[in-house]
């Protein structure tokens, strides 16, 4: 569990640092624009690309915490056995979705790398920012599996105990 705890903190700190940097950069850019006619042309490009990273990392954090939006009206009314089946199905669908996203992200990064695409104002390779998709999609696979295992354990612990049919005779 130590590695997962390290990953938890790494995700959260990365998001916090990126968000702090984005806020400072946007604030400075607004002040500079207001006081002068100068603007940091790279700031919008950088902010948008960092926002992609934060969004993907945030989805991973939300998946770990079980904080993603879900409609559980029907599942909540199922018996424990069917809840386990539903949890397994949701986990499997999530893993498949994020596997597809990982493969698509890898193809996207390869394409950006081969074509030599660069950002407009910073002239940085686009694949650096594109890495957010496959890296975070892979994290989402791990977090989806982690969440599915946690839900399975919770459902197993909360399952009603089935008592054997034994007649107790009293005098």
Q: Give the DSSP letter string of 47-105.
A: HHHHHHHHHHHHHHHHHHHT-S----TTGGGS-HHHHHHHHHHHHHHHHHHHHHHHHHH
Domain membership flag for residue 171: no
Residue 45 Ramachandran class (φ > 0 left, ψ -120 to 50 alpha, else beta): alpha
Domain membership flag for residue 170: no
Percentage of residues of the chain with pLDDT beyond 90 = 63
Domain membership flag for residue 17: yes
Q: Say how many domains are in the chain.
A: 1
| pLDDT-based confidence at residue 37 (cuts at 50, 70, 90) | confident
Does the pLDDT at position 41 exceed 90? Answer: no
∠ CA 35-39-42, nearest 5°, is 150
Domain membership flag for residue 59: yes
Percentage of residues of the chain with pLDDT beyond 70 = 92
Q: CB-based burial of residue 50 (10 Å sphere; 0-12 exposed, 13-18 middle, 19+ buried)? A: middle
Domain membership flag for residue 90: yes
Helix axes 41-65, 132-157, angle to 10 degrees: 20
Instruction: Quote the domain boundaries for residue 121.
Output: 2-157
Phi, psi at 87, each rounded to 5°: -65, -40
Domain membership flag for residue 165: no
Domain membership flag for residue 164: no
Does the pLDDT at position 99 exceed 50? Answer: yes
**pTM of the prediction?**
0.82
Q: What was the pLDDT predicted at 11?
A: 94
Domain membership flag for residue 169: no
Mean pLDDT for 7-36 is: 93
Distance separating the N- and C-terminal Cα atoms of the chain: 53
Does the pLDDT at position 164 exceed 50? Answer: no
């Amino acid at each position: 569990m130590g590695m997962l705890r390290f990953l938890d903190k790494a995700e959260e700190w990365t998001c916090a640092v990126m968000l702090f940097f984005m806020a400072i950069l946007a604030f400075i850019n607004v002040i500079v624009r207001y006081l002068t006619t100068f603007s940091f042309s790279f700031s919008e490009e950088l902010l948008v690309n960092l926002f992609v990273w934060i969004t993907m990392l945030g989805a991973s954090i939300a998946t770990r915490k079980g904080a993603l939006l879900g409609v559980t009206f029907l599942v909540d009314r199922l018996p424990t056995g069917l809840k386990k089946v539903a949890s397994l199905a949701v986990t499997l669908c999530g893993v498949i979705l994020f596997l597809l996203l990982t493969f698509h992200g890898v193809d996207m990064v390869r394409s950006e790398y081969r074509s030599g695409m660069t950002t407009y104002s910073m002239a940085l390779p686009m694949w650096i920012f594109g890495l957010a998709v496959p890296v975070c999609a892979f994290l989402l696979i791990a977090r989806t599996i982690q969440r599915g295992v946690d839900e399975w354990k919770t459902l197993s612990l909360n399952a009603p105990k089935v008592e054997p049919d034994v007649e107790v005779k009293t005098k």
